[in-house]
Amino acid sequence: MASSSTQTLALQTDSSALNCFKEKLMAKIFRFYDEQSLTDVTFKVSNPTAHVPAHRLILAAASPYFENLFKGNKGNKPIIEINDIDSDIFERLITFCYTGQALITVTNVGAMLKAAIRLQLDDAITRCVEYLMAHIDEYTLHDAYMLERETRCEILKRKFIEYEIKNFMEISQSDEFLNFDVERLQRILESDNLNITREEDAFDAINRWFNYDVPAREEQLPLLIACLRLTQFDADFLLTHIQPLPGCELLAFKALSWISKPEARTKINMRFAEPRAVICEKTLLALCCVETWMNPTLLQYNKAEDKWQEYASINCDYKWYRTILKDDNILFTGGEKKDDETTSNIVRSWNIRNKTWQDLPAMKQARRSHCVVELNGKIYAIGGFDGKKSLSTVERYTTSDGWEFVSSLNDRRYNASAVTLNGKIYIMGGRNSGVPLKSVECYNPDSNTWTSCADMTECHWLHGVAVHKGHIYVVGCFSGNGTVERYDPQQNTWSKICSLEVGRGIIACASLDNKLWAIFFSVSGNKISVSVYNEENDRWEQKCAFPGHFVLSCYVVPVALLK
């Protein structure tokens, strides 16, 4: 008989022959299974009742569950009952033991994962987790988190945390985020790869989590604040936002000392003194057009050179549509057709990377001059005009349920503006049957209700709006006054800040690099002007302008997306 060392040498010198032998052997074994030949055990499985024949040796080699089963007294029986796994799922996993493959779908992945864990099929568990993460948008975050809690699958938890780090901005706005335990949140916030544009994003997320259950989380708050890169905040932010938090006074003091006394930094024990290794650099994209709105141009802002350049021309024969940035796509919703000027319910997605169109399910109601926002991964189309009258209807889109109506607005309105903040939707201004509005409404998705908020100080329509540092900013333009108002959601109050000298036209706003940007068409110069708000001096500072006409929308996108 050959020794083990001789066998190893033979295997090393003829690995191709060995692989060929293994392939033939496995093909033969699977044929035996397929033909139900030479089987020596049968499983009786319920729901519906089915008999699944197999080979003990193969199953024992594939799983410690079957190995222990066949070694025990129960394993000697020719028929073994399995009562806690559906027959279809069980048969798929038995096939996996022979082939290493199984048909996994969005509808069965949860049951497959639970059964794979029950049968101790590690490779099948990995396949299920990989499939789930690849189809997470179809499966929905809520169901995925439910599955993780039910299975307590460590592989799934680890993959989820990787996903949460990569998609932190979206996850932190979800309802599931509010129920994260402190250990999970710590693991996410500690990561150098946390995908945020600025450290304030992580602070805002902690604040939202904390305010959801203040009494129960007060003691845990300092653990999370300590995960922030506190040295990246300025002194004013530390004194205003960090120091007043319960248990965080010392953290704020150490960070202030580190910032103000560089010579003493070696003596200050800061857990995270350096900025995160990976901060996703972002820039602006502006969707611009002539008065007809058709065939818009997408312009990219180069921050380093303070200039705008054309990124793409988009072939679009609609007008009065509304757009939103969704992942790597710009969604065009509704609008008015070019040929017959009828209002449409069409929804199309234009991919920024590939510059290609894709049709999506149409809205239930045709609308133009409406508002469209994203909240917790769901797209909302709000109000607008149907060609005859102002609308108050609101509908919501998910990949699983398509478009469905939710509660309507209290006031009909079109050419309004809307944003999301603190898990709610705010819509403000617009017109109702031609009458300008200064009213504001807030939508709570938990109760599916719209409630009135404090009115703006002036009426605005086709105005710019952006969320910036926990406040909502409204910049009037089409009304011709250039008034800028700021809304405090905690106090439910509006206040005016420095006005912006703008001409009559459409304006877009965005928050980038911790600054508020306004992009608008200047009639006098026949160009698109760009201004950045200086909060310390309460004034607007001019940036690079560029030839053009109306700016329809403005998006903050990763620079890497445009390469």
User: Which has more confidence, 461 or 293?
Assistant: 461
Fold equal for 170-267 and 281-316+462-563: no
The H or E element that residue 473 is part of is strand 471-475
Torsion of CA 57, 59, 65, 66, to 10 degrees: -50
Sequence-distant (≥ 6) Cβ neighbours of residue 499 within 8 angstroms: 481, 482, 483, 484
Express each pLDDT in 32-70 by its tens digit. 877 788 888 999 998 899 999 999 999 999 999 999 999
User: Is 60 exceeded by the pLDDT of residue 525?
Assistant: no
The class level of CATH for 22-166 reads alpha beta
How far apart, in whole angstroms, are the C-alpha atoms of residue 242 and residue 245?
6
Express each pLDDT in 480-524 by its tens digit. 567 899 999 989 999 999 988 766 667 899 998 878 999 887 655
Express each pLDDT in 98-113 by its tens digit. 988 888 998 999 999 9
Sequence-distant (≥ 6) Cβ neighbours of residue 233 within 8 angstroms: 199, 200, 203, 241, 242, 255
Q: What do you get for the CA distance between the two ends of the chain, in Å?
A: 62
How far apart, in whole angstroms, are the C-alpha atoms of residue 490 and residue 468?
14
pTM: 0.56
Domain assignments of the chain as residue spans, ordered by start: 22-166, 170-267, 281-316+462-563, 329-336+358-453
The class level of CATH for 281-316+462-563 reads mainly beta
CATH topology of domain 170-267: 1.25.40
How far apart, in whole angstroms, are the C-alpha atoms of residue 63 and residue 56?
11
Residue 1: per-residue pLDDT: 43
Mean per-residue pLDDT, 257-272: 82
User: Is 90 exceeded by the pLDDT of residue 345?
Assistant: yes
Torsion of CA 158, 160, 165, 168, to 10 degrees: -160
The H or E element that residue 219 is part of is none
pLDDT bucket at 370, cuts 50 / 70 / 90: very high
Residue 435: per-residue pLDDT: 93
What residue type is 332 in one-letter code?
A: F
What residue type is 546 in one-letter code?
A: F
As a whole number, the mean pLDDT across the chain is 88
